[in-house]
Amino acid sequence: MKIDPAGMDFRDLHHLLAGAVVPRPIALVSTLGENGVQNVAPLSSISIACVRPPMLSFSLSTRRRKGGEKKDTLRNIEFAREFVVNVPVVESIAEAMNKSGGEFPDHVSEFTECGLTAVPAERVRAPMVLESPVNFECRLVKILEFGEHPSVSSLVIGEVIMAHVRDEFWANGELQSAKMKAIGRLLEPYCRTNEIFEFNVEYTL
């Protein structure tokens, strides 16, 4: 099968890309709006952009609302120029994560509607998700836009300026990610990390 992406519509192209790049980690990105409302949204495009300085990136690859209106997460980041990346989404908050992806009015906080707990960050105004194993406080570095309206994709890059790790997931100076029970995203369904294996090979970064 050979596929020329130039002839595909938005939905089919999205499904091709999202169905092949799997499993994808899921992040809860929390922001603070200009109206003071705390927002949190699930994103399955999180990636490490750089190690030193530490930078994370994610893509908001959704069609803009009617009239070109941006979604809350992007609008809040453009306003505050900061956000928190809460990772990974674990099994205990999977339902809350799924619910937080719904459409809520600007004046409604997903924290309240989805049963997640907002706690103050140390260096940014955006809240952290208490239930997440790791919270990365980020300062916006750049937003790159690709595509044309209404299929605009915004690539957000942020520098990590403070990290928080729950004590039960930190030992011997490093994260114990195998204990987190993280979930991942396939195309439509999700997957668990309940079967983990290793190779007896050492790699040098």
The per-residue pLDDT for range 93-117, each reduced to its tens digit, is 999 999 999 989 989 999 999 999 9
Amino acid at 190: Y
Q: What is the CATH number of the domain that holds 63?
A: 2.30.110.10
Report if residue 142 sits inside a domain.
yes
Report if residue 133 sits inside a domain.
yes
The per-residue pLDDT for range 68-82, each reduced to its tens digit, is 678 899 999 999 999
Report if residue 50 sits inside a domain.
yes
Q: Are 149 and 63 in contact (CB under 8 A)?
A: no
3-state helix, strand, coil in the chain (%, to 5): 25, 35, 40
Quote the radius of gyration of the chain (alpha carbons, Å): 17
Alpha-carbon separation of residue 1 from 4, 92, 149, 163 (angstroms): 10, 40, 30, 44
Token pair listed for 77: 């980041």
Amino acid at 150: P
Boundaries of domain holding 151: 20-186
| Cα(49)–Cα(58) distance, integer angstroms | 9
The total of structural domains in the chain comes to 1
Report if residue 114 sits inside a domain.
yes
Report if residue 10 sits inside a domain.
no
Cα angle value 198/160/68 (rounded, 5°): 105
* Contacts by 106-112, CB closer than 8 A, 24 or more apart: 106/33, 106/35, 106/37, 106/72, 107/35, 107/37, 108/37, 109/37, 109/38, 109/39, 109/40, 110/38, 110/39, 110/40, 110/41, 111/30, 111/38, 111/40
Q: Which of 23, 72, 40 is nearest to 196 (CA)?
A: 23
Report if residue 203 sits inside a domain.
no
Report if residue 199 sits inside a domain.
no
Tell me what percent of the residues of the chain surpass a pLDDT of 70: 95
The per-residue pLDDT for range 8-64, each reduced to its tens digit, is 988 899 899 999 999 999 999 999 999 999 999 999 999 999 999 999 999 997 555
Q: Please provide the DSSP assignment of 43-78 as one string.
A: ES--EEEETTTTEEEEEE--PPPGGGPPPHHHHHHH
CA torsion 19-27-136-122 (nearest 10°) is 160
Token pair listed for 116: 């997640």
pLDDT at 198: 86
